[in-house]
Every structure is written in C-alpha cells, then in structure tokens.
Copies of this chain bind each other. A is one copy, B any other.
Amino acid sequence: MSKINVEEAKAFRVDEHFQIADVDPSATPGLDGEDDIDEAFGHHDDDLENLQEMLYANSRADNAEAGSVLLVLQGMDTSGKGGIVRHVIGATMDLQGVKVRAFGAPTEEERAHDFLWRFEPHVPEPGMISVFDRSHYEDVLVQRVKQMAPPEEIERRYGAIVEWENKLVERGVKIIKIMPHISREFQAENLKERILREDKHWKYNPGDIDDRRLWSQYMAAYQVAMTRTSTDAAPWYCIPSDNKDYCRTVVKTLMYDALKSLNLSWPDADFDPEVELERLANS
C-alpha cells in the first residue's frame, strides 16, 4: 500500500543546510503518479480520527497535561493553505476539538502591541488543535519584503519568535510549521482560474499580483525566516505543493506523528463502573 511514512515526511524539515531553491515544488518524492498519491492520501485517516478523538477526550476531562497541537500554515497565495484546513483537518477531525484562525493584516489596536500579542489568545489549550492560516510569520515575511518595519525590528523578531515558541513547547504545545511551496508557474495557473471563474472570484485579490511581482524577495524572506526559526522544538517543513494532494498527504503524516508523540491515553474514569452499572440498572 502506498504511503508517505514519518521518516519521508520529516525529510522536508528545514535544517541549517536548507536552501529553498533546492526544493522542486513539482516533485512528489516517495509517490509515483496520481493513483499512488490517491492511495497514500487516505492512509492515516483512521489514525488521525482516533488520535484526535483521544486528544479531545482529554480536553473534555480537563487533563491539563494532555498537550495540544499548533499547526502553522504559511505560504504564498494559492499555495493550498485553505485546502489543508479542509482536506487534512476538516476531513479527519472532530471540529469540536479544532480551532482554525485566519490572520489578516493587524488592526490598529493590534499594531499598538508587540507583534506576538494578537497570537497568544489563539494558542491551543490542552487537548485542542489550533490551526493558524497565516501567522506570526507574516511579521517577518510581508513586513520584511514590503519594509513595513525597520530592519532592526525585523531582526529582533526572529529571536522573539523562537523564544515565544520555546515557551509554548514547554507548556506542552506541539508545534508544526508548514510552508506549502509552489512554483511561480503554478501560481499563475491558480490565479488565472480565480480571475476567470465566478465561483473562485471571492478568493482573488488584486493585491495578489503585487505580491507575485515580489516573488524572489518573498523566497529570500522565507529562506531567512525558516532557517532562523526552525528548531528541534518547533521545526519548519517546506513541502512541494504543485501537487496539492501530495502536500496534504505529507501534512497528514506529520500531524499523525505529532499526535502519536503526545503519548495519549483515554482519560481515567472519574466514576466506579460497577457502581454506575448498578445505578443504571435501577434507574
């Protein structure tokens, strides 16, 4: 049976030798053709469903030690962030245990605070999964590319992010950071579809073209941001995504590994089953 195993998925991890230019967005390593990808796509679904139910059960049982998962999605327009939310998270998990938060430009109030302030309330509580659709990395990506903050402030932020994420990890939050990496050519196809199709118009923003014109500057900003903030505690994965199902398959595998690593078990009963069976029989 075709699948992406955990080791293969972790091969996309960003380390100190990482060069974004070395990643071929159209590659599908480990899987050969659509049938293979289709088969691998569903491989971890049952495990994801079961593990997430167990995680959520711990949330409901107020187990403060349960751990939680934060999935950060950060990529260029049309790279498939929304599709990951829908087809990886939505399709396999109980939405009662998942919170998805899309981050746009900060409000005036948010801008008046440190850049991390607006993200803190959305850190997952024990037993929960949070997904950031765009994230605190906007503050070192678009803000760097468009020079929305002074260079020394951008510089400060890399360290601040690592420190903040380390603190979250100490609190039991498992962090996975994903860059779905698409080619400039694939983005052109996607944008064209959004411009032409009535049912895709709502996903299109003329500003997308402005960002597209800054493609190489964005790649440089991703290169710096990912290498400086990919830590053992909170690694980055740069995943080829011209084939969206391939990327989603890899993300499923990484989510599976993250949930496994929490060493979950079903919460202990806070009642005596014998007693309750008796009460039920007499009710």
Given the known A-B contacts A85-B95, A277-B192, are A283 and B202 also in contact in the complex, defined by CB atoms under 8 Å?
no
In the complex, the answer to whether B195 meets A277 with C-beta atoms within 8 Å is yes
Partner of A102 from the list B57, B91, B96, B277 (CB cut-off 8 Å) is B96
Structural contact, B195 and A266, CB atoms closer than 8 A? no
* A85 CB contacts on chain B under 8 angstroms: 94-96
Interface membership of A113, Cβ < 8 A: no
Q: Chain B residues near A53: list those with CB within 8 A.
A: 199
Whole-angstrom CA separation of A231 from B81 in the bound complex: 41
Binds B, one of A135-143, A204-212, A218-226: A204-212
CB distance from A193 to the nearest CB of B (A): 11
* 22 sampled A-B residue pairs with Cβ under 8 A: A57-B202, A58-B202, A60-B203, A86-B95, A86-B96, A89-B95, A90-B90, A90-B94, A96-B102, A188-B280, A188-B283, A191-B280, A192-B277, A195-B280, A198-B269, A206-B276, A206-B279, A209-B279, A209-B280, A209-B283, A212-B280, A212-B283
Give the B-binding residues of A (Cβ under 8 A): 53-54, 57-58, 60-61, 82, 85-86, 89-91, 93-96, 98, 100, 102, 133, 188, 191-192, 195-196, 198-199, 201-204, 206, 209, 212-213, 266-269, 271, 273, 276-277, 279-280, 283
Ranked nearest first, the 10 interchain pairs of A and B with the lowest CB-CB distance are A57-B202, A201-B269, A95-B95, A90-B95, A195-B276, A209-B279, A212-B283, A198-B266, A202-B267, A209-B283
